[in-house]
């Protein structure tokens, strides 16, 4: 059955109107962020690595460097992320833990083995020193757990009212074993789409704190380092096409990027998508679609059909993949579109996030 939508309207990340000012939505991870990247950043940095639009740069050293040996052929992954989440502390984590996990995960989903992190702090004058200590201690624990080393940092302080407590920017370096070539451009019709666990936990945990919503059980962020899971997955199935951690913009935006990047369609089965009851209930209460809600310890993987069952078993065997599920497939139809087979038997297009539904979620 054909889905009749204006594909150009849905997939084109460039609305005609130019924005004279930065909007909150430009940080959403959705359509407006894509537009900002396409219109402002990419024209300035036209190199193959940036243009690949992955969450991490894979630097292939091929040119000789005087006096340096051994780097040629080495494949280094490099990534950076700023964290501006509010509140600073939330069930299941804090801004520091998030900053460490987020950068580890951007390396891991690129097939890299995380090695070194940096952390740059922008503190607002008046931040309680106890809060900073708590955040730093949390980052240390997160580094230790993931076996990465924080090796360099920076601190700046801005005057009261010109920041918001603390912003943290982490960057990370990882090593990519030579044979790995994961790419958002490599999905093929017939591939299966797997999700490593329940979706929406992080975003809803943050929102429930902000909105003061209480549930019988505590909703906690899923923030976690995915490098152990990705290594287990790649050991089991080196043919994984690509992995992504669906943070800002959620699973919907990630799969839209995949559909556009690989020139394919994606078909999701709503009934297969793992969602906690509390998350579903909170989303209904708040008017959110869980497909757009941020995750901080989950990944989406695209894998050849023949490997899907084996990979799913490997994921189930890992603590962070216990609830992994096969949620859909890559199709040759409706190129650039993600279409959901709904619970009630209908179909709907799941577009990229427009505007901003959950500002400052990470």
Min dist CB 358 to a second copy, Å, is 12
Stretch that binds a second copy, among 7-15, 163-171, 283-291, 299-307 (CB under 8 A): 163-171
Among 3, 5, 7, 132, binds a second copy (CB under 8 A): 132
Interface residue with a second copy among 98, 109, 150, 299 (CB under 8 A) is 150
What is the rounded distance in angstroms from the CA atom of residue 249 to the CA atom of residue 334?
21
Q: Is 320 in the site for a second copy (CB under 8 A)?
A: no
> Who contacts 346 (Cβ-Cβ below 8 Å, separation ≥6)?
none
The enclosing H or E element of 308 equals: helix 308-316
**What is the C-alpha to C-alpha distance for residues 196 and 32, in angstroms, rounded to an integer?**
27
- Minimum CB distance to a second copy smaller for 180 or for 280: 180
> Among residues 7 and 209, whose Cβ is nearest to a second copy?
209
Residues 322-341 touching a second copy, rule: CB under 8 A, are none
Q: Is residue 359 within the footprint of a second copy (CB under 8 A)?
A: yes
* Cα–Cα distance measured from residue 322 to residue 263, given in angstroms and rounded to the nearest whole number: 31
User: Which structure tokens are listed for 10?
Assistant: 């849905």
Judged by beta carbon, residue 126 or residue 190, the one nearer a second copy is: 126
Q: Concatenate the DSSP letters of all residues of 43-100 into one string.
A: TT---HHHHT--SSEEEE--S--TT--S-TT-EEEEEEEEE--SSSEETTEEHHHHHH
Does the footprint of a second copy cover residue 116 (CB under 8 A)?
Answer: yes
Helix or strand or coil: residue 114? Answer: strand
- Nearest-angstrom CA–CA distance, 279 and 273: 12
Q: Based on CB atoms, which residue is closest to a second copy, 71 or 316? A: 71
Identify which of residues 46 and 216 has a Cβ nearer to a second copy in the complex.
46
Given candidates 130, 212, 287, 344, which one binds a second copy under the rule CB under 8 A?
130
Query: Restricting to residues 169-228, which ones interact with a second copy according to CB under 8 A?
Result: 169, 171, 173, 175-179
Examine residue 142 and tell whether it contacts a second copy (CB under 8 A).
no
Q: 7 — phi, psi (to 5°)?
A: -60, -40
Ranges within 44-83 binding a second copy (CB under 8 A): 44-45, 47, 49-50, 56-57, 59, 61, 65-74, 76, 78-83
């Amino acid at each position: 059955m054909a889905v009749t939508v204006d594909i150009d309207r849905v997939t084109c990340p460039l609305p005609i109107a130019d924005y004279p000012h930065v909007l909150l939505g430009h940080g959403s991870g959705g359509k407006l962020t894509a537009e900002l990247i396409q219109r402002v950043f990419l024209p300035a940095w036209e190199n193959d690595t940036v243009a690949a639009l992955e969450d991490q740069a894979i630097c292939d050293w091929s040119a000789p460097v005087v006096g340096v040996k051994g780097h040629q052929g080495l494949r280094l992954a490099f990534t950076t992320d700023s964290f501006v989440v509010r509140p600073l502390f939330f069930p299941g984590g804090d801004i520091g833990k998030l900053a460490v996990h987020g950068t580890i995960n951007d390396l891991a989903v690129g097939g890299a083995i995380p090695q070194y992190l940096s952390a740059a702090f922008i503190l607002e004058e008046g931040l309680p020193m106890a809060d900073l200590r708590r955040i730093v201690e949390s980052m240390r624990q997160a580094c230790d757990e993931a076996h990465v080393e924080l090796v360099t940092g920076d601190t700046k302080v801005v005057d009261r009212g010109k920041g918001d407590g603390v912003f943290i920017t982490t960057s990370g370096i990882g090593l990519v074993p030579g044979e790995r070539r994961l790419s958002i451009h490599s999905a093929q019709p017939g591939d299966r789409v797997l999700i490593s666990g329940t979706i929406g936990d992080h975003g809803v945990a943050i929102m429930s704190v902000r909105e003061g919503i209480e549930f019988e059980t505590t909703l906690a962020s899923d923030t976690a380092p995915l490098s152990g899971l990705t290594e287990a997955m790649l050991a089991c199935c080196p043919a994984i096409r690509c992995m992504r951690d669906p943070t800002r913009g959620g699973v919907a935006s990630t799969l839209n990027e995949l559909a556009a990047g690989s020139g394919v369609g994606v078909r999701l089965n709503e009934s297969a998508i793992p969602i906690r009851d509390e998350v579903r209930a909170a989303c209904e209460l708040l008017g959110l679609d869980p497909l757009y809600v941020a995750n901080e310890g989950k990944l989406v993987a695209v894998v050849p059909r023949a490997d899907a069952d084996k990979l799913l078993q490997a994921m189930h065997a890992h603590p962070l993949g216990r609830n992994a599920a096969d949620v859909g497939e890559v199709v040759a139809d409706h190129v650039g579109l993600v279409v959901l087979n709904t619970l009630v038997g209908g179909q709907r297009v799941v577009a990229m996030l427009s505007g901003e539904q959950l500002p400052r979620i990470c």
